[in-house]
Amino acid sequence: MGSMVNLQTVLVSRLKTVHSRVVLEDSQQKIEFPYITYSLSSRDNNNRELFRFEVNVWDNSNDTTTIENLSDSIKALFDHYSYNDSNIAFHSYLEDRSMLPDTNPQIRRRHLIFDLKVYIK
């Protein structure tokens, strides 16, 4: 498996411990709220890759308790987290957490950005 596939497998597996509805990038399909989307972008640096892992938590409730609790759980999973297996190792750190408005005023969104330093074995 390639490093990106290995990395995605680990990240999605961890995200699914917080919530079952996790999809890659912005989903155009109808998904029940709340749900989580994620994306990865990378910059090669010899044997180490620097990744930007973006996680969005979406909900359509006026009560923001659920979306904030999900965001807190995601932060706890990935901020200052280290992972190591036979294919890859990585460290992740929270870079930013913000409330982003949606074009639909009934939709709530939280955006978390993590920096990942990935070592390919």
Q: Read off the pLDDT of residues 40-64 as tens digits, 9 standing for 90 and up.
A: 988 766 656 889 999 999 999 999 9
> How much is the pLDDT for 113?
97
How many Cα atoms are found within 13 Å in the side-chain-facing hemisphere of 87?
A: 10
CA atoms of 52 and 31, how far apart (whole Å)? 25
> How much is the pLDDT for 78?
98
Q: Enter the pTM of the model.
A: 0.91
Residue 99 pLDDT greater than 60, yes or no: yes
Q: Which CATH architecture has domain 3-120?
A: 2-Layer Sandwich (3.30)
Q: For the chain, what are the domain ranges?
A: 3-120
Structure confidence by residue, pLDDT tens digits, 4-29: 788 899 999 999 999 999 998 876 67
CA atoms of 68 and 79, how far apart (whole Å)? 16
Cβ contact 21:31 at 8 Å: yes
- For 53, the 3-state DSSP assignment is strand
